[in-house]
Amino acid sequence: MAETEVMKNTSNEDFGAFVDKFLLLPPSDSPHHLPLSGLTFAVKDIFDVEGHVTGFGNLDWARTHSAAASTAPVVSDILSSGAGSVGKTVMDEMAYSINGENWHYGTPTNPCAPDRVPGGSSSGSAVAVAAGLVDFSLGTDTGGSVRVPGAFCGILGFRPSHGTVSTDGVIPMAQSFDTVGWFARDPLILNKVGHVLLRSPVQDPLPPCQIIIPDDCFQNLCFQSNIIIPVVMKTIDNLFGCQVIKHVKLGDYVRDNVPSLKHFTESESQEFMIPSLSALSNSLRLLQRWEFKNNHGEWVSTIRPHLGPGIHERVWDAIGTSNGNVEHCHTVKTELQAALSSLIQDCGILVLPTVPGPPPKLQTEPVKLEDYRAKAFSLLAIAGMSGFCQVTIPLGMWDDLPVAVSLLARHGDDLFLLNLVQTLYDSLKEQASSMIKLT
C-alpha cells in the first residue's frame, strides 16, 4: 500500500473526529474495478496501521507503545478492495465507554445534535461518516461501541456476528464480545463493506420468515416507541404483509429459557428495567471487566495512566474484579444463543430499540449517566451475550434529536441482515418522515 502524509492532529473543520490524518492508498497494482473503488474511509485508533502508534484513546498508552509493525488484516482488506483511508479517529479511552467524550483528545462534535454526546467508544469513526468526511469507517463493538454512536449520530452502524470478522491487529478489550463493526450513511455501501470483511460473495436477498417485536422492550426502555413501532410495522406490512409480524415479551422468554441468569438477578430491579435483561447486562459487564483486567491490568497497575471522569472509575473497578461467577457468564452466553436461535429462527429478525432514549447532553455528570448506561446495556447485551449480528438504522429526527431502531439476526445471518437493510431502508425513512411530521 502507498502512503502520503497529509496532516497531523485535528481541526474544527473535521468535527474533531481525527487524532491523526494521513492518506493510505490501495496497492498501486490494484485493478480499477474493485468493490470499494473510489470510496474513502476512516479507522478507529484501536486498529494497527504500519508505522503509526495505535493510541487506544489515551496519551499514556500512546507514549508507552511503539509504532505498529504491520497493518490489521481488516484494514488491508479494505485497502485491497479499492478504498482509501484518510486517517485515524478519536475513541473513548481504552474503549471503555459508550458516551464518546475523550478527556485527552476532545469530544468529536455530533453533527446532528452538537450539544449531545456522539456515542462511543467509536465516536470519531461515527462522526466522520455522519459529517460526510468519509464514505464509511471502521470501529469496534464490544458492549455497544458501534451501535450506540450510530444511533446517536443518525447513521447506519453494523455489529457483525461474533468471530466472523478478524480482530487480528486490533487491541483487545474483552475477547468474548469484541467485534469489528462499520458505519455508513448509505445501506449499499454498508453492504459492500460487509461482503469484503465477511469474505463472502454477493447473495440474493431473502424475505424474512418472521419479524419479532418485543413489546416490553419498547414499553419499558424507549420513550420514542410511539414513533418507532408504527414506522416499523407499517413498513413491514407494506413490503412483506402483516402475517410475518410476531409480538413477544422478550423479558419473560429470556427468563424462562436462560436459567443461569439466576446468578445475576438483583433483588431489587431498577425502575423501568426488565429483570432478566438487567441480569443479562450484569453478566456481560462482569465478564467484560474480567477479560479487560486480564488484557490490560498489568499495564494499568504499572503505568497508572491519566484517565478521564467515568473511565477512571470503570477501569479501576475492572482491575479489582475477581473471577467469581465468570464461569456462569459463559453458560449464560451458551443458553442465550440457543434460546434466541429457537425464537428468531433462520431468516428471522428481532426488532429492538438501539438505545433507551436520545443522546445525553455533553458533560453530564458520570453519576447521572449511570441510569442511562444501565438501561442501554440491558438492550445492548442481547446481541453481545448471544453473539448475534445487529444493525442500527436511523429513522430521522424528532424534537431535533435522532431516532433509530435496531434489527438483530441469528449468528451467521449477517448477509441476510445487510440485504434486508437495503430492502427496508427507503421505506423506513419514508414512513418515519411521514409519521414524525404528524407528531
145 is catalytic: yes
CA 287 to chain centre: 18
| C-alpha radius of gyration, the chain, whole number | 20
Query: Alpha-carbon dihedral of residues 353, 357, 362, 365, nearest 10 degrees?
Result: -110
Alpha-carbon dihedral sign for residues 68, 74, 77, 78: negative
Cα–Cα distance, 376 to 273 (Å, whole number): 10
121 is catalytic: yes
User: Shortest CA distance to 152 belongs to which of 107, 101, 186, 113?
Assistant: 113
Catalytic site residue from 85, 97, 121, 406? 121
Cα–Cα distance, 251 to 117 (Å, whole number): 29
Cα–Cα distance, 241 to 224 (Å, whole number): 24
Alpha-carbon dihedral sign for residues 99, 107, 103, 86: positive
Cα–Cα distance, 115 to 301 (Å, whole number): 35
433 is catalytic: no
Q: Which residue has the cell 491523526?
A: 20
DSSP state of 91: -
User: Shortest CA distance to 108 belongs to which of 98, 97, 118?
Assistant: 118
Catalytic site residue from 85, 97, 145, 161? 145
Helices 275-303/311-319 angle, 10° precision:
90
CA-based angle 306:11:124, to the nearest 5?
60
First to last CA, the chain: 51
Name the amino acid, one letter, at 1: M
Residue 214 in 3-state DSSP?
A: strand
Cα–Cα distance, 311 to 299 (Å, whole number): 15
Name the amino acid, one letter, at 122: S
Catalytic site residue from 21, 44, 234, 293? 44
Residue 198's CB is within 10 A of a number of other CB atoms, namely 17
Active site residues: 44, 121, 145
